[in-house]
Amino acid sequence: MQNALLEVRGCKVNLRRMGKGEPLLLLHGAQGLNGEDPGLDALAKHFDVIAPDHPGFGRSEDSELVDDARDLALFYLDLLDALNLDRVHVVGLCIGGWVALEMAVTSSARFNSLVLVNSAGIRLKGVPRADMFVCSEDDLLKLLFARPSAADWLKRWRATPELEDIYDRNRAAAAKLSWSPRLCNPKLDRWLHRIDVPTHIVWGEENRLIPPAYAQALKDLIVGSTVATVPGCAHLLHIEAPNLFAEQVSRFIQRVTS
């Protein structure tokens, strides 16, 4: 794995790059990446995985240009320019999925395909969501995971003082992007018909932060998209079931590119 700082619009972005194959931009979720992400390693067997920390998250600088998910989407279109990447596969987790949707409605010409995993971005009225910010840490872990992998995951964040700081930093950065309206752009659903690239939606069956009804709603809004619901997984399914996550992504991409 290569770790490098890439300057985009005056902001130094921490970029992980690993594997060989077609370029795949992985946009992380509210919890960020902590350096031990077996789901990414599994993806790197098939793709040239490009996984930045969003501005304000992880080891990336904060950017004055990025106040919300829409800004971040435009920022990533700039990042693709900076990397001289014409077209990429995009995988978006949670908030990263929301950013991918905002990018795709702006310019789907940069996409080869799109995979949304437990994606934020739209609001389904009347479908209650749990709140990741108000709950206690114990309850948060229960929301993020269906399996007992939560304690290990949290332990990795507590491994060093730097990672502890990054954990807090990610929470603040996630709040900045998604506090209100919580985890969505209420007008985004109006424009999802513009997404004209192959799209696959992967959801944890036990996700209470963004319940599986959202997977169906996204499928209905994005023409030709497909859905896979994963039993025994919640919001961080790429951590709970890394191989299954990578398989969902790589099989879908193989299918649509062959």
Partner 1 sequence: MKVFLFHLMPYAHLDMGYAGKYRAAWVVLPNTYFDPKKGHELYNRYLDELELAAELGFDGVSVNEHHQNAYGLMPSPIVMAAALSRRVTQAKIAILGSAFCLRQHPLNIAEEHAMIDCITGGRLISGMVRGIGAEYFSTGANPAFSHARFQEAHDLVVQAWTRPGPFAFEGKFYHFDYVNMWPRPYQQPHPPIWAPSTGSVETIEWAAHPARKYTYLQAYSPTQSVVRYLNYYRECAQRMYGYRASSDQIGWSTPVYVSDTDQKAREEAKPHIECLFNRLLRLPFEMLFPPGYLSAKSLKNMRSHKRSVSGQEHTLDSLIEQGIIVCGSPETVRKQFMDTHRLLGFQNLLCLLQFGTLPRDLTEKNIRLFAREVMPALQELTDKEYAGQALHAAE
Which residues of this protein are in contact with partner 1, per CB under 8 A?
67, 133-137, 165, 168-169, 171-176, 179-181
Residue with smaller CB distance to partner 1, 163 or 175:
175
Q: Residue 211 and residue 189: Cα distance in Å, rounded?
A: 17
Residue with smaller CB distance to partner 1, 117 or 140:
140
Question: Closest distance between partner 1 and the C-beta of residue 114, in Å?
Answer: 28
Question: Closest distance between partner 1 and the C-beta of residue 195, in Å?
Answer: 28
Residue with smaller CB distance to partner 1, 2 or 180:
180
* Angle, helix 161-178 to helix 95-106, in steps of 10 degrees: 50
Edge-to-edge strands, sheet with 11-18? 2-8, 11-18, 47-52, 22-27, 88-93, 111-117, 199-204, 226-230
Question: Closest distance between partner 1 and the C-beta of residue 136, in Å?
Answer: 6
Question: Closest distance between partner 1 and the C-beta of residue 178, in Å?
Answer: 9
110, 103 in Cβ contact below 8 A? yes
Q: How far is CA 216 from CA 111, 212, 229, in A?
A: 22, 7, 10
Q: Residue 5 and residue 112: Cα distance in Å, rounded?
A: 25
Residue with smaller CB distance to partner 1, 184 or 218:
184
